[in-house]
Amino acid sequence: MRALAVHPDVIVVISRVWQTTCTAVRAGGEGFLIDSPVDPDELDALPDLLEQSGFPVSGLLSTHADWDHLLGRLAFPAASLGCGESTARRLAAEPGAAQRALREFDEDQYLERRSPLGLGSVQSLPVPGRLSVGEGDEIELHPADGHTADGTAYWLPWTGVLVCGDYLSPVEIPEISGGGSLEAYGATLARLRELVEIANTVVPGHGSPLDRELALAVMEEDVAYLAGLERSGAEAPLPETRRTGAQRRRHAANAARVASG
């Protein structure tokens, strides 16, 4: 696990698992934790890390309902979980799905956790919308579906940081998961562009934080990839820096999903 201070009020923790990111943000005496690291020891270490850094955790936020972004309550079991309306609907429609996926991952990796994952009562937040934090600051919530059926990006205007979930990753190509769509993914990238153009730092769901120029470069590659996927399916070229075996398998799954409609 790596921890990076990208702003005096923002720390990004990067998990060793899939480089999944977790973002701590504070304003005044209040703070939120967006998404989560994955491994048990990372989650165990998180409270001490944030306490020593002076980052309170008043509540948890999630960019979407994939299980690897929902583990914050294992580190902060008393904290409430908030998420965009689309994610709240998905969690309600898929009861126990995150817990089952986590158990399967742990069994595959021979991992043990202190307690099972309990999401508690999930607070549905309006998107587009704003969430007050501290004394006068606000977190902006923007729709970010397409990777999955749900999704929310969080813009922290007083910091210049955009937390965008599973988009603009320097280590993963765009993934069209179940419930997602090529069209919606492209629409989310178009919405995010306006925020990226004024951001100082972009935090993807997987991979190290990006400065504005690099985030825009990744966006152009992703737009080109999606256009190629729509036009050529499995024959579409992958972004040059993401032509790994894992991403080729992801591409094959994308092509199959697009072909099936």
**Which residue ranges form the domains of the chain, and what is each CATH number?**
2-259 (3.60.15.10)
Cα(first)–Cα(last) distance of the chain, in Å? 38
C-alpha distance from residue 214 to each of 45, 182, 210 (Å): 30, 23, 6
Q: What is the dihedral of CA 243, 246, 252, 256, to 10 degrees?
A: -140
Q: Give strand pairing partners of 132.
A: 138
Strand duo 137-143 + 152-156: pairing: antiparallel
* Average of per-residue pLDDT values in the chain: 96
Distance CA 3, CA 5 (A): 7
Report the pLDDT value the prediction gives residue 135, as an integer from 0 to 100. Answer: 83
121 has pLDDT over 90: no
Determine if residue 96 is left, alpha or beta; phi over 0 gives left, psi from -120 to 50 gives alpha, anything else beta.
left
List, for residues 175-184, the tens digit of each pLDDT value.
Answer: 999 889 999 9
**Average pLDDT of the residues in 223-240:** 96
